[in-house]
Structure 1
Amino acid sequence: MNLVDWDFAVTVGTRVAGPGPDVSADEAAAAVVELREGADRSTPLVREFTGLQTAEGTAPVLVVDRSGWVQANADGFAKILSPIVHKLTEKKGAPSPFAEAIGSRVTGGEVGLMLGFLGTKVLGQFDPFYSPHGRLLLVAPNVVHVEREIDADPRDFRLWVCLHEETHRVQFTANPWLGEHLMTQMNAIADSIEPTAIIDALRRGAEAIRGGNGSMLDLVSTPEQKEILDRVTGVMSLLEGHADVVMDGVGPTVIPSVAQIRTKFNQRRQGVGTLDKLLRRLLGLDAKMAQYRDGAVFVRHVVDRVGMEEFNAVWSGPDSLPSKAEITDPDAWVARVL
């Protein structure tokens, strides 16, 4: 059975996201080339700064438009939600074709609205669940939009974005167990949630877009679910904070205008307008901003105290990852792991 009509979700998401800023064919081609070059240039810089080693060409780099990002994330969500679909089928049996078509189209539209909004915001993303070793997506229209919005030097800004996203690619390809661990946690969350809660959450999402409020995180309510979510939050805070530390550590050596870029970008991260802030709350983006901030504080504190080589014990396995509580108490992590 189909819980979500993913094709319809992609159609809706693509329309909501739109094509992005107006650019000439030459400008678009130049952006694609510079992003690819930026990703390639970032790899040795990230390796040298972090001490993490990964084989060449382990995970592909794709420069995509907004519709390509929407399609990639619809595919990823479909994979993550597949255990829920299986669970629902086992519990209630297959619905009639008519009921399935109507229900999946409604949820597909709601997912599409959310993907469309996010598709206008994301600059880049590492997809660890793409077989076999993940892939890095760089969203060219959004990079161009932001660099214009904050009046950044295009070449500097594109390399700056690539440093952050390439750090994610190195994190996962240097530590293959990490993607498997995250997928296990995502499957555990999916398996613990009642399928009807997913549908209700998606409907709340549509209501919030029309002027209500709430968060997708509201569907996680039991102690078991919160425990799993805390583990995932700890990992994501580590990954995002580590990437921010790397881009700020490497940036001054290769990006002349990095200080101005960071200042203006931090201001932009706050979101603008009532609708934008509402959707950020709904989709948990406020929590993601906290992940960048808290994770970076954690990484900087540990590295300052013990050095990067000792810090890299964090990548030795699931038991060495910081918990959500340890992210805000890095000395507790040092005491436990080191």
Structure 2
Amino acid sequence: MDLYRSVRAVTNASGTGFVDWAAVAEAAKASTPPGDLTLTQEERTGYATDVRDARREVRRVAEVEFDLPDTVEVQNRHHWIDANVATFERVMRPIEEKGGSFFPGVARVVNTGTMAFMLSFLGKNVLGQYDPLLLAEGDPDHSLYFVRPNIQKVAAMLDVDYPRFRRWIAFHEVTHAAEFGAAPWLSGYLEQRMEEGVDTLAEGGFDRHSFQELDTAMTAVEGYAELLMDRAFDDDYEDLRRKLDERRQGGGPLARLVRRALGLGLKRRQYERGAAFFEAVADARGVAAASKVWERPENLPTDDELDHPEQWMRRVV
């Protein structure tokens, strides 16, 4: 980790945009230890087996067909940062294109530093990722990512068995692959709502409707994934969830502040609210009925239906 190089990259930010994305990548990696990526043969086999088993069990439980990305990557933190800079750049593009400043050089340095800090923080904490925004862009090289140093670190911090924790992460990410595989329209739907919201922010307004639709859709995404995890994972994982929640709520004041700023606390609310909705549907009509949510955009639950699943069942099932 080289904090001097990180600061230098930010202060030397240049170009015509409001963020120097090359400097973001350099600064984020300079302030983030990459972590070890020396996999044993046992680990290589373990990752492959976990993903294969997860695909088989999730397909069986959900009764939906889906494919996994051609590439399943086990990464270090620097690989993850490189893979996500382009996604952050694309999400922020409307603000860059429409923003303005009396001091563009100063704004560029501040914005570059902010983005670098966010990517560094996430790079040290993300365990696995299946990125729907890459699908929305039509990227043929989208991948299922596992950040090995973080998985190892968190397993040790939580005092849980590393292979078991790794397998749990694999199952969770494969459930997301199932959702986006079963609903080819979903990535574009999320992308459109995000673009509409960001466009309005860039113009100085706030599109409550777009962000509400985005939050509702992501609540469905997280809740359905929880439903599949409950029924597909071959072990009880309540202890893993509880320990991970305690870890998220802990940490220093800065870490807690950053988690709130990035909306990471909202994600747990999405898990719980979405899981309650889909559990109610599955208990009443079966998992196949719950999977109808991905047949078309109109089948997504409304914000009110999330709290009243019987209304959704009358409308859709």
Partner of 1:35: 47
Assess, with a 3 A threshold, how the Cα gap between structure 1 residues 272 and 325 changes in structure 2: closer, same or farther: farther
Partner of 1:212: none
1:280-308 CA-partner distances (Å, limit 9, x unpaired): 11111111111111111111111111111
1:245 CA displacement: 2.2
Partner of 1:229: 211
What CA distance in whole angstroms lies between the structure 1 residues aligned with 2:214 and 2:44? 32
Check the 8 A contact 1:62/1:136 in 2, yes or no.
Answer: yes
Partner of 2:131: 127
1:324 CA displacement: 2.9
Check the 8 A contact 2:37/2:76 in 1, yes or no.
Answer: no
Is 1:321 matched up with 2:303? no
Is 1:288 matched up with 2:228? no
Assess, with a 3 A threshold, how the Cα gap between structure 1 residues 324 and 119 changes in structure 2: closer, same or farther: farther
Check the 8 A contact 2:19/2:96 in 1, yes or no.
Answer: no
Check the 8 A contact 1:80/1:187 in 2, yes or no.
Answer: yes
Check the 8 A contact 2:29/2:120 in 1, yes or no.
Answer: yes
What CA distance in whole angstroms lies between the structure 1 residues aligned with 2:167 and 2:115? 31
What CA distance in whole angstroms lies between the structure 2 residues aligned with 1:240 and 1:59? 23
1:178 CA displacement: 0.7
Is 1:25 matched up with 2:38? yes
Partner of 2:276: 297
What CA distance in whole angstroms lies between the structure 2 residues aligned with 1:226 and 1:293? 22
Of 244, 260, 276, which residue of structure 1 is paired with 2:239?
260
Partner of 1:216: none
Of 66, 88, 95, which residue of structure 2 is paired with 1:54?
66
1:80-138 CA-partner distances (Å, limit 9, x unpaired): 222333344xxx6xx99xx6555333211111111111222211111112233643221
TM value normalised by structure 1: 0.80
Partner of 1:276: 255
Check the 8 A contact 1:16/1:117 in 2, yes or no.
Answer: no
What CA distance in whole angstroms lies between the structure 1 residues aligned with 2:30 and 2:303? 37
Of 103, 108, 117, which residue of structure 1 is paired with 2:121?
117
Query: Can you give the 5+ residue segments of structure 2 that lack an aligned partner in the other structure?
Result: 1-15
1:233 CA displacement: 0.7
TM value normalised by structure 2: 0.85
Tell me, what secondary structure is at the counterpart of 2:133? coil
What CA distance in whole angstroms lies between the structure 1 residues aligned with 2:209 and 2:73? 34
1:259 CA displacement: 4.4
What CA distance in whole angstroms lies between the structure 2 residues aligned with 1:119 and 1:168? 20
Is 1:66 matched up with 2:53? no
What CA distance in whole angstroms lies between the structure 1 residues aligned with 2:83 and 2:272? 27
Partner of 1:187: 195
Query: Can you give the 5+ residue segments of structure 1 that lack an aligned partner in the other structure?
Result: 198-220
1:328 CA displacement: 2.5
Partner of 1:79: 90
Of 57, 62, 67, which residue of structure 2 is paired with 1:45?
57
**Number of positions where the alignment pairs a residue of Structure 1 with one of Structure 2:** 298
Of 229, 246, 251, which residue of structure 1 is paired with 2:228?
246
1:73 CA displacement: 2.0
Which region of structure 1 is more displaced relative to structure 2, 169-178 or 32-41? 32-41
Counting aligned pairs with the same residue, the percent is 31
Tell me, what secondary structure is at the counterpart of 1:53? coil
Tell me, what secondary structure is at the counterpart of 2:31? helix
Check the 8 A contact 1:147/1:157 in 2, yes or no.
Answer: yes
1:6 CA displacement: 1.0
The Cα RMSD (Å) is: 2.5
Partner of 2:7: none
Please list every run of at least 4 consecutive aligned residues from structure 1 whose deviation after the TM superposition is greater than 4 angstroms: 29-33, 99-102
What CA distance in whole angstroms lies between the structure 2 residues aligned with 1:144 and 1:273? 21
Look up the equivalent residue of 2:187 and give its one-letter code. Answer: G
Tell me, what secondary structure is at the counterpart of 2:116? helix
Check the 8 A contact 1:36/1:63 in 2, yes or no.
Answer: no
Tell me, what secondary structure is at the counterpart of 1:326? helix
Look up the equivalent residue of 1:120 and give its one-letter code. Answer: K
Look up the equivalent residue of 2:58 and give its one-letter code. Answer: V
Assess, with a 3 A threshold, how the Cα gap between structure 1 residues 318 and 24 changes in structure 2: closer, same or farther: closer
What CA distance in whole angstroms lies between the structure 1 residues aligned with 2:37 and 2:180? 35
Check the 8 A contact 2:59/2:65 in 1, yes or no.
Answer: yes
Partner of 1:164: 172
